[in-house]
Amino acid sequence: MSRGLRLSALLALCVAVAACPDDEGHHHHDMQRREYPQVPLAPPTRPLQWGDVNVIHTTDSHGWLLGHQKLSEPEPNYSGDFGDFASFVSHMKRLALEKDVDLLLVDSGDLHDGTGISDGFPVGGIDAHDANKFIAELPYDVMAIGNHELYIYAITLDMHQSFAPKLNGRYLSSNVNITVPDKHGNPVSIPVGDRYAKFKTRKGRKVTSLGVIFDFTGNDKNTTVQKVEDMVTETWFKEVIEEEPDFFLLVGHMAIQKNKWPLVFNAIRAVHPTTPILIFGGHTHIRDCVQLDGRSMSLESGRYMETVGWLSMDLDKRGSTGNLTFSRRYLDPNRVTYEWHSKRNNFTFDTAYGRSITKGLEQLAVNYDLNFVYGTAPQDYTISRAPYPANNSLITLLAKQVLPVALAINNTRADVPNLIIVNTGSLRFDVFAGAFTKNDQFTSSPFTNYFLYIPDVPAGVANAVLAELTKEGETRRRRDLELEAQRDAHGDVDHIYRAWLERMDSAHDAERRGTQNNTLGYVTSDACPGVGDDIPHTPLPFYSTPSYAASDPPAVSDDTLIDLVFDNFFEPQLLTVLNGVQSDKNYTTADVATYSPTLINAMFGQFAQAKWN
């Protein structure tokens, strides 16, 4: 950001820089609510385009309700917490009243799995049960189920029993059922929420809404996901869409491109050729927009509360056939953005309602001990913004430092030379300079992978295993669409998100990047007219990542016997590769033992305590 823009942002928005507490010698870091952004943030450059019908959209929040609290770019762009968002929604509702237009609030699923606020529950608890209470306080008109609500039956049951009732028929699971006992104790399969919703807006417009998920196959037992192509042939579906509303509102956990939305869209169009249709998708964690015809718009609004989507539509007379006027915008969720668009300032923005949500979330962080500081990270470590094996690569940090240190703690085999191989998919989010807290441990690697080992493997063979796995990893990236479809069906979206980052980066050459004064962030190119991003950014650098990484090989001869250590996620594949690179022994699961009881979701904390204090 240029000096002039920084100064104007500071003067216009009264941005105050709060002093950072000194963490040295302290074991707790107060995650205090930031009344002002701690770094200058550029305000939006143009107002939102309002229409007859307007929609605020969230998706794939994954527990990021306290906002992104690190000072390294691009995190301050997303520093607004859910209380700030609640105040923003309240003010936008007021503006909608003044303009005498409709404003709806919708969400496309995946409330679970991602931060300590959702995942840091005590033993015996249920993921996001406490955090979701705050989400339910917002005036959502429609919410849809996501795949992260389906991996564990207890979570699905909690959504069915505790969350869906709070939405009063507006939590939609059109093609998702849960099996529960009926009043006689017999199992019965019923929708997790509701199959559809019909309601009227404040302006009296009739809405028919559905909540659809993609053809997900990774759901837990006693839950079922019906294929989209089968859902649209159901009698109930045909009956629901038979009556023409003023517009259809389709909200679902499904990418708006290269997925099954056209099946739902075409089924509706076969009955209502010109009725306006709004589609709000999710799941792939990207910003995207497409129009399936001139009287519809489809919007997808990112991930992790890094984006708040905006869509507006001007209606015409029923029966008209011309193109409608739409707009879309991708907002950076921070207080500067919220205040600017809601025509408020820092002294008039907060509502009692929003503050209560912020305070409740902060108390939940205290209850879960999320502010506990393991150590202080000396620099930023990123997954895809630094090339592996650079020193600022999070993959390098994990493989070369974190695992060797954490796996040696209380381990009787720590003195035996080893090679540790890890699946890099165990990393989920970057680690930034500053206090590394219990919450950061959840965001960086929330998975429960554990480590196994095979003793007495010749060092040369172990190194050959790594080389072959690396080769297989690169081959896997280039495999056919069938494998990609299988990954998608199980809920793996990381490859889609990273491909999007790569396209974003490649569209901006180094020369252009060096002349821009914008802060780092998303630079969206989608299929809808005009510029979608609310604030201009310079795209994040992108480097491809290996599927596997390993600790430094021990300085021993090839025939020295060592421990081959690996995470359990790819045990069958490792055994196949091990038997392929040598013929002296046929290794089986009988040769495999547990190397350490420590799960990967605890290893960054152990390393930080040992090395970053």
Tens digit of each residue's pLDDT (9 = 90 or more) over 512-535: 555 567 899 999 999 999 999 999
At 472 the pLDDT is 72
CB neighbours of residue 66 within 10 Å: 25
At 235 the pLDDT is 98
Nearest-angstrom CA–CA distance, 113 and 494: 14
CB neighbours of residue 302 within 10 Å: 28
Burial of 273 by CB count in 10 Å (0-12 exposed, 13-18 middle, 19+ buried)? exposed
pTM: 0.92
Is 30 a residue whose pLDDT tops 50?
no
Is 605 a residue whose pLDDT tops 60?
yes
CB 240 within 8 A of CB 211: no
Nearest-angstrom CA–CA distance, 304 and 65: 8
Q: Which of 29, 95, 72 is nearest to 378 (CA)?
A: 72
pLDDT band at 37 (very low <50, low <70, confident <90, very high): low
Residue listed under structure tokens 């979330």: 361
Kindly give the interhelix angle for 494-506 and 481-489, rounded to the nearest 10 degrees.
120
Domain ranges of the chain: 52-367, 373-611
- Which amino acid, 545? T
The least confident of 48-57, 342-351, 488-497 is 488-497
What's the mean pLDDT in 118-128? 96
pLDDT band at 508 (very low <50, low <70, confident <90, very high): confident
CB 50 within 8 A of CB 101: yes
Q: Which of 46, 529, 93, 110 is nearest to 302 (CA)?
A: 110
Q: Where are the beta strands (DSSP E) in 498-609?
A: 520-521, 538-539, 548-550, 561-567, 593-596
Superfamily of domain 52-367: Metallo-dependent phosphatases (3.60.21.10)
Q: Are β-strands 561-567 and 451-458 bridged in parallel, bridged antiparallel, or unpaired?
A: antiparallel
Nearest-angstrom CA–CA distance, 36 and 19: 12
Residue 203: left if φ>0, alpha if ψ -120 to 50, beta else—which one? Answer: alpha
Nearest-angstrom CA–CA distance, 384 and 371: 26
What's the mean pLDDT in 138-162? 98
| Contacts (Cβ under 8 Å, ≥6 apart) of 305 | 58, 61, 64, 65, 67, 68, 78, 80, 82, 85, 333
At 482 the pLDDT is 57
Class of domain 373-611: alpha beta
What's the mean pLDDT in 463-477? 80
pLDDT band at 471 (very low <50, low <70, confident <90, very high): confident
Is 487 a residue whose pLDDT tops 90?
no
Q: Which of 59, 138, 161, 97 is nearest to 358 (CA)?
A: 138
Kindly give the interhelix angle for 352-367 and 82-99, rounded to the nearest 10 degrees.
160
Is 483 a residue whose pLDDT tops 80?
no
Kindly give the interhelix angle for 82-99 and 335-342, rounded to the nearest 10 degrees.
10
CB neighbours of residue 18 within 10 Å: 11
Q: Which residues, in sequence order, are bridge partners of residue 197?
A: 209
The least confident of 34-48, 412-426, 464-478 is 464-478
Nearest-angstrom CA–CA distance, 451 and 596: 6
Mind listing the pLDDT tens digit for each residue in 539-598?
A: 999 999 999 999 999 999 999 999 999 999 999 999 999 999 999 999 999 999 999 999
Is 479 a residue whose pLDDT tops 90?
no
Residue 249 three-state SS: strand
Residue 189 three-state SS: strand
Is 2 a residue whose pLDDT tops 80?
no
At 490 the pLDDT is 83
**φ, ψ (nearest 5 deg) of residue 246:** -75, -30
Residue listed under structure tokens 């796995």: 469
Per-residue DSSP letter, 431: B
Q: Which of 347, 305, 345, 352 is nearest to 87 (CA)?
A: 352
Residue 473 three-state SS: helix
What's the mean pLDDT in 450-458? 98
How many residues comprise the chain? 613
Nearest-angstrom CA–CA distance, 354 and 345: 15
At 453 the pLDDT is 98
At 509 the pLDDT is 66
Mind listing the pLDDT tens digit for each residue in 84-101?
A: 999 999 999 999 999 999
What's the mean pLDDT in 43-67? 97
Is the four-CA dihedral 113, 117, 75, 282 of positive or negative sign?
positive
Structure tokens at 257: 């491109």
At 16 the pLDDT is 33
Is 250 a residue whose pLDDT tops 80?
yes
Asked if residue 74 has a cis previous peptide bond (ω within 30° of 0), the answer is yes
Q: Which residues, in sequence order, are bridge partners of residue 194?
A: 172
pLDDT band at 475 (very low <50, low <70, confident <90, very high): low
Burial of 47 by CB count in 10 Å (0-12 exposed, 13-18 middle, 19+ buried)? exposed
What's the mean pLDDT in 274-278? 98
What's the mean pLDDT in 122-126? 95
Nearest-angstrom CA–CA distance, 432 and 72: 7
